[in-house]
Chain A
Amino acid sequence: GLGAMAGGAQAQDTLEPNSWEDVTTYCNFYEFGTRKGDPAENAHLMTTSPWSVTIDGMVDRPGEYDFQDIMSEMTVEERIYRFRCVEAWSMVVPWNGFELADLLAMAGVQDSAKYVAFETLYRPDEMPGTAYRVLDWPYREGLRLDEAMHPLTLMATGIFGKDLPNQNGAPLRLVVPWKYGFKSIKSIVRITLTDKEPPTSWNMSNSREYGFYSNVNPEVSHPRWSQATERRIGGGLFAKRQPTTMFNGYEDEVASLYDGMDLRKSF
């Protein structure tokens, strides 16, 4: 409700963002290579203009939406969110963007829709990392419709008041701050409304390690490492670990989405 959102907004003011360098040089974007520095090095190869997003499936107005047309319809605001990677590191990022719910409203979601599926651009000649099949390209992600419509769920088009750098998912990406970072799919070219849980890349690659929900949860370990703590990027060689919080600190806002669910099973 509104009270919860106000609480979230207050929390937002106390967050100290990471540096531009932290956010733009330490990235996972496997289409450009698997090392953290690869995206910053290679993502300039990606053409982001012109750009269009296909919105299809269970919508009233399916079609190819030009990025500039989308931007002219949307109101961009700043959201400072915690960002928690499944690899147990974290950042605080000042995003600029609009709520996904507003974009979905533009296309008109039909009553039958239960899930939203997303796809990243797959253009091998501009993406050297796709030469090797680390994942089954194109990268795919998905949300349940109520997660997608949640006011915290953002379509980001910028950081620090500037356009998104390519390595951060230009020109538009998803940001779901209570889920592990890989859910926040980058450089989106397709959004499909569907009534079935859509396949998602990391879950397809290793379903034992990566669930569909992938909510930040300090009590459910990744099979290969604990999720109880995280290291905030930017603290140097002697940075201390800090405890990870339930739903990445957005418990008040989102916990009710999962009422009655066993979060150990639906991880």
Chain B
Amino acid sequence: MRDRLNQTLRRVPTWVIYMLGMLPAPWFFYQGLTGALGVEPIKALEHKYGELALQLLVVSLAITPMRTHLGINLLKFRRAVGLLCFFYVSCHLLVWLVLDVQLLDQIVADIIKRPYITIGMAGFVLMLPLALTSNNWSIRRLGPMWRKLHKATYVIGLLGAVHFVMLVKGVQLEPLIYLAVIIGLLALRLPGRRSSTTTPVRRQRA
């Protein structure tokens, strides 16, 4: 069953993931224009893009544990998921800059003075080098450095979730669930856990 699943996954071309993954961006925008996101479409659109980015972050952090613990191999799609995540974080940021806050001096003040925005921006800035090096050439160029660099994803995951927890009013459940899931996915990588629970999976060359 697992082998069948892995075989099927192997046959899915990555461009399909890119295509399907990009579709919600114009769709949500169109919904915002036509009133389908409600009477306050700016915050709604900002939230949609941000939420999707966070979900893609969770997926990208789940790929390694899914392989080591469940034997399901999605490694082939990890780059696509990571880049899509960066794409939606950028959309989220653009909506915030252009449609939401609008005023340049207030944007600067918010980034410096509002911790949840500082944290969100830090996450975005950390994503930039990862997005820029998500290509075969950079992997060859950077060698072992590349793996180290891309471990920044763990920090980005935490920053993203904390950003969400901090921006809501009161103690709300949904952002705490994201935070818990992300911490859980990171905990699965702790050295002790890994060696004791690893299911052997034949390595595949990309």
Residues of A at the B interface (CB closer than 8 Å) are: 19, 21-22, 25-26, 30, 34, 36-37, 87, 89, 132-135, 205-206, 221, 223-226, 228-229, 231, 233-234, 236-241
Q: A237 with B106: in contact, given A87-B169, A134-B172, A224-B167 (CB under 8 Å)? A: no
Within 8 A of A (CB), among B154-206: 166-173
Whether B32 lies near A224 (C-beta < 8 A) is no
Tell me, yes or no, whether B128 is within 8 Å of chain A by CB: no
Q: Chain B residues with Cβ under 8 A from A22's Cβ?
A: 39
B116 part of interface (Cβ distance < 8 Å): yes
Contact A135 B114 (CB under 8 A): no
In the bound assembly, the distance between CA atoms of A87 and B47 in angstroms comes to 15
Contact B106 A228 (CB under 8 A): yes
Supply 18 further A-B pairs (C-beta < 8 A) apart from A25-B39, A133-B171: A21-B39, A22-B39, A26-B39, A36-B38, A36-B40, A37-B38, A132-B173, A205-B171, A224-B167, A225-B110, A228-B106, A231-B40, A234-B39, A236-B33, A236-B35, A237-B32, A237-B45, A238-B99
Contact yes or no, A237 B41, CB < 8 A? yes
Inter-subunit contact B170/A34 (CB<8 Å): yes
Bound CA–CA A195/B39 (angstroms): 41
Q: Which of B43, B45, B114, B170 contacts A134 (CB 8 A)?
A: B170
B16 within 8 A of A: no
A26 touches B40 (CB 8 A): yes
In the complex, chain B residues whose CB is within 8 Å of the CB of A135: 170
Instruction: Looking at the assembled complex, report how far the CB atom of B34 sits from the nearest CB atom of chain A, in whole angstroms.
Output: 9
CB distance from B173 to the nearest CB of A (A): 5
Q: B116: nearest residue on chain A (CB-CB)?
A: A224
Question: Contact: B42 with A231, CB < 8 Å?
Answer: yes
Q: Is the CB of A233 within 8 A of B102?
A: no
B169 to chain A, nearest CB (A): 7
Hey, which chain B residues are within 8 Å of A234, CB to CB?
39
B109 part of interface (Cβ distance < 8 Å)? yes
CB pair A236–B38 under 8 Å, yes or no, is no
User: Majority SS of interface residues in chain A?
Assistant: loop
Residues of A close to B5: CB separation below 8 A: none
Contact, CB under 8 Å: A240 / B102: yes
Docked pose: A139 CA to B110 CA in angstroms: 30
Chain B positions within 8 Å of A37 at CB level? 38
Contacts of A206 in B (CB 8 A): 170
The reply to whether B40 and A233 form a contact with Cβ atoms under 8 Å apart is: yes
Residue from A19, A205, A237 whose CB has the most chain B CB atoms within 10 Å: A237
Q: Which of B32, B35, B114, B171 sits near A225, CB closer than 8 Å? A: B114
A-B contact pairs, 11 of them (CB 8 A): A21-B39, A30-B170, A34-B170, A89-B43, A134-B170, A134-B171, A205-B171, A223-B114, A224-B166, A229-B103, A241-B103
CB-based contact A237/B99 at 8 Å? yes
| Bound Cα distance from A108 to B136, whole angstroms | 80
Chain B nearest CB from A187 CB (Å) reads: 18
Bound-complex Cα distance A82 to B141 (A): 60
Q: Could you tell me if B42 and A239 are in contact, using CB atoms closer than 8 angstroms?
A: yes
Kindly provide the distance from the CB of A18 to the nearest chain B CB, expressed in whole angstroms: 8
Does B38 contact A25, Cβ atoms closer than 8 Å?
yes
Give chain B residues whose Cβ lies under 8 Å from the Cβ of A229.
103, 106
Q: Given that A237-B45, A239-B42 are known contacts, is A226 also in contact with B110, CB under 8 Å in the complex?
A: yes
Contacts of A21 in B (CB 8 A): 39
Output the least CB separation between B177 and chain A (Å): 11
Q: What are the residues of chain A within 8 A of B38 when measuring CB–CB?
A: 25-26, 36-37
Q: Report the separation of the CA atoms of residues A225 and B101 in the bound assembly, to the nearest whole angstrom.
A: 10
Judging by beta carbons under 8 Å apart, are A34 and B42 in contact? no
**What residues of chain A lie closer than 8 Å to B43, measured between beta carbons?**
89
Chain A residues with CB under 8 A of B172: 34, 132, 134
Question: Which B residues between 24 and 70 are near A, CB-CB below 8 angstroms?
Answer: 29, 32-33, 35, 38-43, 45
User: Closest residue to A182 on the B side, CB-wise?
Assistant: B169
In the assembled complex, the Cα of A135 lies from the Cα of B33 at a distance in Å of 34
Q: Given A225-B114, A238-B99, do A89 and B168 touch, yes or no (CB 8 Å)?
A: no
Closest chain A residue, CB of each to CB of B171: A134
List of A residues within 8 angstroms of B35 by Cβ: 236
Q: In the complex, which residues of chain A have a beta carbon less than 8 angstroms from the beta carbon of B39?
A: 19, 21-22, 25-26, 233-234
